[in-house]
Amino acid sequence: MIRTIYILWLRQLKRYVRSRSRIIGSLGQPLLFLVALGYGFGPIFQKAGQGNYLEFLAPGVIAMSILFTAIFSGMEIIWDKQFGFLKETLVAPVSRLNIMIGRTLGGATVATLQGIIVFFISIAAGFRPTNIAFLPVAFFVMVLTALLFTAMGTAIASLLEDMQGFQMIMNFLVMPIFFLSGALFPLAGLPDSIVTIASLNPLTFGVDGLRGALIGQMHFGFITDFAVLSGITALLLVVGSYLFSKIEI
């Protein structure tokens, strides 16, 4: 069982390492956000008395790259469905739960790696974490966020037939999750409706935990963040496994 999970995990990792264009492509966006928004809005943010915007933004951009990578990794199942590889795993004498666990761990590992790379990019862009001792906490938040959204991607992919629905998922799920998470702006002082939407959004808690660990600014606090993130991750893993077990090809 462990070997099954291991080989599925390893496959995800190999695919990631080999698709260099994908890695480079997916690093362009965070870099753009850091440079364009970080430097662009910096002076206004400063004038509003909120401090250094790049410091504030970097954890949000790290969370963003984890969100995108994790959802895509989960959704790779659609690709496997269409290109036939999924059949190879589904007729093998292994339980679907193990297949799902291996894939999800693989996707989450890739997303966490991506988050770590973006962390170093933001350091290169001028970001400085305030407390080095909290880096392990930041890492833990990254892992949880990565697991959560990989499981979400898997659940969605189990329901979709082909890549046609992909654009819709991007525009109506992934983008709103990112923009309404407090990754780009502080939640304090916003209209109640926006704060309510943000508190229903799991990424909000990932961003909050990451920001707390990296620069010591928080809206909800670690306990709430961890509780919400682990709760939703557990829920999505169960839903994802169920939907994955129902795939017929």
Partner 1 sequence: MPQKDRMDNYSIEVRNLTKKFGNFTAVDNISFSVNRGETFAFLGPNGAGKTTTIKMLTTLLHPTTGTMLVNGYDPIANQDAVRRSFGIVFQDPSLDDELTAYENMEFHGVLYRVPDKILGKRIEELLNFVELWDRKNDVVKHFSGGMKRRLEIARGLLHTPEVLFMDEPTIGLDPQTRNSIWKYLKDLNGTTGITVFFTTHYMDEAERVADRVAIIDQGKIVAEGSPEGLKTKTSTKSLEEAFLSLTGKKIREEEAGSIDQMRMNRKMWSR
Helix 96-124 / helix 135-159 crossing angle, nearest 10 deg = 130
Number of residues forming the site for partner 1 (CB under 8 A): 26
Using CB under 8 A, which of the segments 2-10, 124-132, 190-198, 200-208 binds partner 1? 2-10
Angle at CA 165, nearest 5°, toward 163 and 166?
65
Q: Which residue has the tokens 């260099």?
A: 20
Query: Which positions from 82 through 101 interact with partner 1, judged by CB under 8 A?
Result: 82-85, 87-94
128 lies in the binding site for partner 1 (CB under 8 A): no
230 lies in the binding site for partner 1 (CB under 8 A): no
Cα(170)–Cα(68) distance, rounded to whole angstroms? 9
**DSSP, residue by residue, 24-81:** HHHHHHHHHIIIIIIIHSHHHHHHTT---HHHHHHHHHHHHHHHHHHHHHHHHHHHHH
CB of residue 155 to partner 1, shortest distance in Å: 19
Q: Of 4, 29, 52, 217, which lies in the binding site for partner 1, with binding defined by CB under 8 A?
A: 4
Question: Can you list the alpha helix ranges (DSSP code H) found in 83-165?
Answer: 85-90, 96-124, 135-159
49 lies in the binding site for partner 1 (CB under 8 A): no
The count of C-alpha atoms lying within 13 angstroms of the C-alpha of 70, restricted to the half-sphere facing its C-beta, is: 31
Q: Of the two residues 55 and 76, which places its CB atom closer to partner 1 in the complex?
A: 76
11 lies in the binding site for partner 1 (CB under 8 A): yes
Q: Of 175, 227, 238, 249, which lies in the binding site for partner 1, with binding defined by CB under 8 A?
A: 249
171 lies in the binding site for partner 1 (CB under 8 A): no
Q: Of the two residues 83 and 223, which places its CB atom closer to partner 1 in the complex?
A: 83
Phi then psi for residue 52, to 5 deg, are -80, 120
Site of interaction with partner 1 (CB under 8 A): 3-4, 6-7, 11, 14-15, 18-19, 82-85, 87-94, 161-162, 164, 248-249
